[in-house]
Amino acid sequence: QVQMKETGPGLVQTTQTLSVTCTVSGFSLTSYGVHWVRQAPGKGLEWMGIIWGDGSTNYNSALKSRLSISRDTSKSQVFLTMNSLQTDDTAVYYCAGDNYYSGGYYVMDAWGQGASVTVSS
Amino acid sequence: DIQMTQSPPSLSASLGDKVTITCQTSQNINKYIAWYQQKPGKAPRLLIGFTSRLVSGIPSRFSGSGSGRDYSFSISNVESEDIASYYCLQYDNSPNTFGAGTKLELK
């Protein structure tokens, strides 16, 4: 059974750096991709980026200059780091695993419960 | 990046109705579209992958169709448990992109 769990700081000051950790079980980080998706209060889902099974990454063009995704396979953890935070970065941050195979590609099917992050001055 | 135009932003339906949501993409995505359901305070749940393939355990009243740049998602015989927001996602190209979402409410 695949499980994903996010842990984050809860509250971050503006201009500071956000770090959120996704701990996975039942899922091979070297075989499948892990995405980060965020959702601002009352808003829709925003895809942030992915770390693929081979360790390469892709990012949302609008966030690329501030965002980094990395991992520690020995600990089954994936890390999201985003700098220069502003109040509009307040959101629930989800990690999601590519756990569903259909039509030749994998798609996100295993989600964590989300980590709520408030950015305040 | 591929742009997703999802409509309508909101939908009001009676129990038993059929509702349809559409997503139009800025370029051909080769049927690599998924549909998610999200209830308040919960993570999204995958309902359909590759345009029309129902995930195991998802009721058959949910369906999807489309090709090229135009895709649709339908719920036949809306039930009270279907009241939620729905999102399309293209995963043909990275970066992946979500539609803006459709909020389904009871009339």
Question: pLDDT tens digits, chain A, 121 residues: what are they?
Answer: 999 999 999 999 999 999 999 999 998 999 999 999 999 999 999 999 999 999 999 999 999 999 999 999 999 999 999 999 999 999 999 999 998 888 889 999 999 999 999 999 9
A108 touches chain B (CB under 8 A): yes
| Cα dihedral B35, A49, A115, A41 in deg (nearest 10) | -60
Name every chain A residue with its beta carbon within 8 A of the beta carbon of B2.
none
Q: Which residues pair with A92 in a beta bridge?
A: A39, A116
Q: Are the C-beta atoms of B16 and B76 separated by less than 8 Å?
A: no
Q: Which of A15, A12, A9, A11 lies closest to A85 in space, CA to CA?
A: A15
Tell me if A109 and B55 make a contact (CB, 8 A cut-off).
yes
B35 touches chain A (CB under 8 A): no
A35 touches chain B (CB under 8 A): yes
For chain A, what percentages of helix, strand and coil (3-state, to nearest 5) are there? 5, 55, 40
Number of other CB atoms surrounding residue B55 within 10 Å: 17
Reported as type and span, the H/E element at residue B45 is strand B45-49
**Minimal Cα distance from B6: which residue of A?**
A44
pLDDT at A104: 87
Classify A34 in phi/psi space as left (phi over 0), alpha (psi -120 to 50) or beta. beta
Name every chain B residue with its beta carbon within 8 A of the beta carbon of A107.
32, 34, 46, 49-50, 89, 91
Token look-up 């601002």 returns A40
From the list A47, A104, A112, the residue facing B98 with the nearest CB is A47
**In the predicted structure, residue B78 carries a pLDDT above the cut 90:** yes
pLDDT digits (tens, 9 = 90+) for B11-56: 999 999 999 999 999 999 999 999 999 999 999 999 999 999 999 9
